Amino acid sequence: MEILIVEDEAEIAQLIQLYLEKEGFSCRTCRDGLTALTMFQDQKPDLIILDLMIPGLDGLEVCARIRQKPGLKDPYILMLTAKGEELDRIIGLSTGADDYMVKPFSPKELVARVRALLRRTLRQGGQSQSYRTQNFVVDLDQRSAVRQVDGERTEALDLTTLEFDLLSTFMSYPGRVWNRTQLIDKLWGSNFFGDERVVDTHIARLRKKIEPDPANPTFVKTVIGVGYKFEDAVA
C-alpha cells in the first residue's frame, strides 16, 4: 500500500513515516499543497495523510481538488490539524476527507486509523457482485455505479470511495433503515474514531450526485429520529 504524507513540519512527517514503514507501508512525503497534487497524479497513492495548514494550497483545497479529479485513483484521505474546533473538523470532512486527527496525536492511533481506512478496500476484495435497482446498478468488482436517466439512457456516477461504499451498502438492503452507528460500522469498521455526524455529511454529498432534487430526496431518505434508508424498486 502506497501512502503520501503531506506535512510541512519535518519532524512530524518523519515520525509518521517511521511508524508506518515499520508496519510495512511504502511512504513518500512532501511539504506543500502544489507538490502534493503533483505527487498524487504521478504516484496515485492508496491513502493520503494531509495536514490542514501547509504552504501554498492548504489541506482543504488539496482535498477538494483531489475529489474533483475524475478517472484518477480515489485515495482515502486522513486529515491532520493543530486545530481542535468542531467546525474545522466538519469543514474538513465536508470537502471529502475520510477521517480527521487533531495534533498532538498518538502515532499508534494514527497507524490504527490508517489500517481501518485501508481495511475497507480489503473487505471489498475478491467479491464479484453487483446490486441492481430500477434506477441504479452498482458493480462491486469493477467498483462502478451507473444511474438510469430516462427510459433508455444511463450515466456513470462520479463517486468518491466512501460515497460508492455508502451507495452499495444502501442498495444491498433496499428499504432497510440504517442508523449512524450501523453505517459507521459498515463503512469504517470497529476502529472508527470521530463524530457520528460525519455520516450526515457524506449522505448530503451522495444525495447531490444521485438525487434529482437533493433538497427533496427520492432515493436516500431520512427516517426522523432513527437514520436513513434507500428506496428504489429492485430490478
Domain with 118 in it: what CATH number?
3.40.50.2300
Residue that wins the pLDDT comparison between 231 and 81:
231
Residues 112 and 41 in one domain: yes
- Residue 235 located in a structural domain: no
Distances (CA, A) of 195 to 6, 78, 186, 204: 24, 14, 15, 16
Could you give phi then psi for residue 223, rounded to 5 degrees? -105, 105
Contact 145, 159 (CB under 8 A): yes
**How far, in Å, CA of 61 to CA of 57, rounded?**
6
**Structure pTM?**
0.56
Residues in CB range of 105: below 8 A, 6 or more apart: 80
Q: What is the pLDDT of residues 5-31, one digit of tens each?
A: 999 999 999 999 999 999 889 999 999
Residues 67 and 17 in one domain: yes
Residues 83 and 182 in one domain: no
Residues 38 and 65 in one domain: yes
Last residue of a domain, one of 124, 147, 181: 124
The rounded Cα 147 to chain-centroid distance in angstroms is: 20
Contact 48, 29 (CB under 8 A): no
- Residue 114 located in a structural domain: yes
- How high is the pLDDT of residue 194? 73
**How far, in Å, CA of 108 to CA of 114, rounded?**
10
Among 5-19, 30-44, 76-90, whose mean pLDDT is lowest?
Answer: 76-90
Structural domain that includes position 199: 130-230
Q: What is the pLDDT of residues 156-184, one digit of tens each?
A: 999 988 899 899 989 887 888 888 888 88
Residues 161 and 52 in one domain: no
Q: Which amino acid is at 189?
A: G
Last residue of a domain, one of 100, 124, 148: 124
User: What's the total number of domains in the chain?
Assistant: 2
Task: Output the DSSP codes for 155-176.
Answer: EE----HHHHHHHHHHHHSTT-
Strand-pairing partners, residue 28, are 4
Contact 171, 133 (CB under 8 A): yes
**How far, in Å, CA of 82 to CA of 85, rounded?**
9
